[in-house]
Amino acid sequence: MKTSLVSSLLALSLLTLAAPAAQAAEHNVLTSAERADGWQLLFDGTTLKGWRSLKAGEPGDGWKVIDGTIARVGKSGDILTGAEYGDFELSIQWKVADETNSGILYRVGLTESQTYYTGPEYQLLDNIAGGDRFDPKHRAGALYDLVAPPSDVTKPVGVWNETRIIVRGWHVQHWLNGVKLVDVDLASPEGQDLVLHSKFHKMPHFATLASGHIALQDHDGMVSFRDIKVRDLKGTN
């Protein structure tokens, strides 16, 4: 009896310890609290439903669902949400391979030949070996070519990072691994001056749309995304 009781208690203890780990490993789902707070999943973990390319209805073949992630495995153009978003908060996890350069763009229009002609970019990069690392405004977490992150808070290559992007009007915040890296209003005189002195000054529709698509950039190297969720901030403070 004592042996049986000890064995049962040990088994129960192991199950109790394993439960938090199992919950922590669950991805691409929303908690009840997140649903109540207005969050919506943009990736179901198994398909590319709800995603498109810039000029066609289906994502290019270079984007695959691998082990519960959206992975860029080959050249085929950026992948965009089917829906548009105005004021929003985006939460997304990402990891890069060696030398990878990628990005997340927002308020992207469909009328231009490139997503970055309309949508500002949250830069994703291997800050150690990525070819674009030499300009501070091109490092991970930057508002690309406009605002440099004050510090490097990226995780090592191959480890998941967590990004938040908050957009209200043209007031933009970039967060990386719990640290706010960018806080600027692109419609303000300061923001307009940043655009004027960037590569985007020749793009008349850059950062002008009231709403647009969210895009994951097809650039160089392997990048993977998971836990992609968004909530509407219209009417919130």
DSSP 10-37: HHHHHHHHHHHHHHHT--S---HHHHHT
Residues 6+ apart with CB under 8 A from 66: 73, 224
Characterize 162-171 residue by residue with b for buried, 16 or more Cβ atoms within 10 angstroms of its Cβ, and e for exposed: ebbbbbbebe
- Maximum C-alpha span of the chain: 81
pLDDT for 98 equals 95
pLDDT at 142 over 80: yes
Q: Is the pLDDT of residue 2 over 80?
A: no
Distance, in Å, from the CA atom of 160 to the CA atom of 155, rounded to the nearest integer, reads 7
**Cβ–Cβ under 8 Å, residues 84 and 213:** yes
Average pLDDT, the chain: 91
How much of the chain is helix, strand and coil, in % rounded to 5?
A: 20, 35, 45
DSSP conformational letter for 143: B
Region of poorest pLDDT, from 128-132, 172-176, 196-200:
128-132
Burial (CB count <10 Å: 0-12, 13-18, 19+), residue 5:
exposed
Tokens of 87: 């004021």
Q: Which two tokens stand for residue 18?
A: 């394993």
Alpha helix locations (H) across the chain? 2-24, 32-36, 189-196
The residues near 173 (Cβ < 8 Å, ≥ 6 apart) are: 164, 165, 166, 167, 180, 182, 183
Cα–Cα distance, 206 to 200 (Å, whole number): 7
Q: What is the mean pLDDT of residues 167-174?
A: 98
Give the Cα separation of 214 and 154 in Å (integer): 22
Condensed to tens digits (0 to 9), the pLDDT of residues 71-121 reads 999 999 999 999 999 999 999 999 999 999 999 999 999 999 999 999 999
φ, ψ for residue 86, nearest 5 deg: -100, -95
Pairwise pLDDT comparison (45 vs 5), residue with the higher score: 45
> CA-CA distance, 53 to 66, in Å (whole number)?
18
User: For position 78, what pLDDT does the model report?
Assistant: 97
Altogether, the residues listed in the chain come to a count of 237
pLDDT digits (tens, 9 = 90+) for 155-166: 999 999 999 999
Per-residue pLDDT for 7 more than 90? Answer: no
220 or 6: whose pLDDT is higher? 220
How large is the C-alpha radius of gyration of the chain?
Answer: 20
